[in-house]
Amino acid sequence: MAENKTMPTGVPVEEFLASVEHPGRRNDGYELLALMREATGQEPVMWGPSIVGFGRYHYRYGSGREGDSAAVGFSPRKASLALYGLTYGPEAKALLETLGKHKVGAACLYINRLDDVGRDVLTRLVRSGYRHVMAELHSP
């Protein structure tokens, strides 16, 4: 079975964020770093070249594929901010209705700018998503 491509790296998160070209994305990245660190109580780790993750869990699919992933995280992509692990918790649907301007993909929450969303609601989504992933998916 192929090895997972997105693995923890030793790259310092602050170094990665400093390299983000778009100043708005870079600033939003620093704010998300502080928000997620506070909401999860975890220190950030780079997963692959562009995902800042908090917490870690082990997954195993029915197909036999398994691996580790960040419980929650974000990536300041060119088109938008991609946030991971925030749409699964039992509170997610209700919170997303009050978040502000966003899009939801298969496993991600996308926002253009942090100023488009309510920080309190976003913080609640991070906490809820983190607790859900860590409790439901049995972190190692």
Q: Is the pTM of this model over 0.75?
A: yes
Using one digit for the tens of pLDDT, what is the confidence trace for 31-80? Answer: 999 999 999 999 999 999 999 999 998 888 788 888 889 999 999 999 99
Kindly write down the DSSP assignment for every residue of 61-130, as one continuous string: -TTS-EEEEEEEEEEE-SS-EEEES-SSSTTHHHHHHHHBS-EE-SSEEEES-GGGB-HHHHHHHHHHHH
* DSSP summary character for residue 3: P
100: left (phi over 0), alpha (psi -120 to 50) or beta: left
| Domains observed in the chain | 13-136 (3.90.1150.200)
Q: pLDDT tens digits for 106-138? A: 889 999 999 999 999 999 999 999 999 998 765
